């Protein structure tokens, strides 16, 4: 499925700015690899600034612009690594290991899709929506966040031609109070989707998977794991499968069929 071999590439920061509470958007100039990135894949980013933190940070991207040679990453500032990333300035340089993992698949024969994002899962969901738009698949979107201040991507999804964008927040400060699964349940009841694509907290994706199974709709999820390398060397990013085996999040995923995963 993935044509490009994972390699080591230089990047320079173009912009790095806050887009919502706790969410930053960094644009990397990485012409050697931007054109290779397919929606759903990820990058393992070396973030300078603390020699005692040796590992890279695996991050999804929202947009890879082959022409401009840039990659846009919207990331949550949650730990030491992403905090250091938030301090990188335009012109700062480092390296990425990329492309990592497999892309979101276009499900054969699908004409209508729904994309569901929870929290920072919005990043790869925006990439997915762009892929669908380019492939001529019509789609609706559900975007969930803890609170209004943490929302990002609604206008981006609208700009990509989403039929509707349903917003949910845990505290009701924007859109419907509740979870993405509440909104998705209503959409599934009305809509005739061929496939649902989801990324967010694992408990959310488990709920999405259950709703889709009950509705008889195909579902693809993008999983997250602690990992070291991002290209299949370390064996640390295992995801438990429904058949009792493990698969590697970086090599076999991060996108899995929802029915494959042991929730």
97 in contact with other proteins (CB under 8 A):
yes
CA-CA distance, 30 to 211, in Å (whole number)? Answer: 39
236 in contact with other proteins (CB under 8 A):
yes
Q: Toward other proteins, which CB reaches closer, 139 or 231?
A: 231
- Smallest distance from other proteins to CB 135, Å: 27
Cα–chain center distance at 222: 7
- Residue 91: what are its φ and ψ, rounded to 5°? 100, -20
Burial class of 164 by CB neighbour count within 10 A (0 to 12, 13 to 18, 19+): middle
3 in contact with other proteins (CB under 8 A):
no
CA-CA distance, 124 to 112, in Å (whole number)? Answer: 19
One of 12, 147, 164, 238 touching other proteins (CB under 8 A): 238
- Smallest distance from other proteins to CB 130, Å: 26
Strand-pair category, 138-145 with 112-118: parallel
Q: Kindly indicate which of the ranges 32-40, 123-131, 138-146, 232-240 contains the residues binding other proteins, using the contact rule CB under 8 A.
A: 232-240
Q: Toward other proteins, which CB reaches closer, 56 or 220?
A: 56
One of 94, 138, 146, 147 touching other proteins (CB under 8 A): 94
**Tokens standing for 31?**
């012409």
Q: How many residues bind other proteins (CB under 8 A)?
A: 33
One of 12, 86, 95, 173 touching other proteins (CB under 8 A): 95
Q: Kindly indicate which of the ranges 59-67, 116-124, 207-215, 229-237 contains the residues binding other proteins, using the contact rule CB under 8 A.
A: 229-237
Interface map 47-86 toward other proteins (x if CB under 8 A): -x--xxxxxx------------------------------
23 in contact with other proteins (CB under 8 A):
no
164 in contact with other proteins (CB under 8 A):
no
15 in contact with other proteins (CB under 8 A):
no
181 in contact with other proteins (CB under 8 A):
no
Q: What is the DSSP string of 116-138?
A: EEEGGGHHHHHHHHHHHHHHT-E
**Tokens standing for 153?**
């991507």
Q: How many CB atoms lie within 10 A of CB 48?
A: 14
Burial class of 12 by CB neighbour count within 10 A (0 to 12, 13 to 18, 19+): middle
Distances 160 to 19, 134, 192 between C-alpha atoms, Å = 18, 9, 20
208 in contact with other proteins (CB under 8 A):
no
Contacting residues toward other proteins, per CB under 8 A? 5-8, 46, 48, 51-56, 94-95, 97, 225-229, 231-240, 245-246, 251
């Amino acid at each position: 499925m993935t044509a490009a071999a994972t390699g080591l590439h230089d990047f320079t920061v173009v912009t790095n700015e806050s887009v919502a509470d706790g969410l930053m958007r960094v644009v990397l100039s990485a012409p050697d690899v931007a054109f290779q990135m397919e929606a759903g894949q990820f990058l393992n980013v070396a973030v300078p600034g603390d020699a005692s933190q040796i590992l890279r940070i695996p991050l999804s991207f929202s947009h890879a612009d082959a022409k401009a040679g840039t990659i846009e990453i919207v990331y949550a500032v949650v730990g030491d690594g992403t905090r250091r990333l938030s301090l990188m300035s335009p012109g700062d340089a480092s390296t990425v290991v990329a492309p990592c993992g497999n892309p979101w698949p276009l499900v054969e024969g699908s004409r209508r899709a729904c994309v569901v994002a929870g929290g920072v899962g919005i990043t790869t969901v925006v990439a997915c929506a762009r892929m669908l738009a380019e492939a001529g698949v019509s789609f609706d979107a559900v975007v969930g966040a803890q609170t209004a201040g943490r929302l990002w991507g609604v206008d981006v999804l609208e700009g990509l031609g989403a039929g509707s964008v349903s917003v949910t927040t845990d505290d009701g400060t924007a859109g419907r109070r509740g979870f993405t699964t509440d909104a998705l349940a209503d959409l599934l009841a009305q809509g005739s989707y061929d496939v649902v694509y989801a990324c967010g907290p694992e408990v959310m994706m488990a709920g999405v998977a259950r709703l889709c199974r009950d509705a008889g709709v195909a579902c693809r999820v993008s999983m997250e794991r602690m990992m070291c390398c991002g290209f299949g060397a370390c064996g640390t990013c295992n995801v438990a499968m429904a058949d009792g085996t493990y698969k590697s999040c970086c090599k076999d995923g991060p996108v899995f069929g929802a029915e494959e995963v042991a929730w």
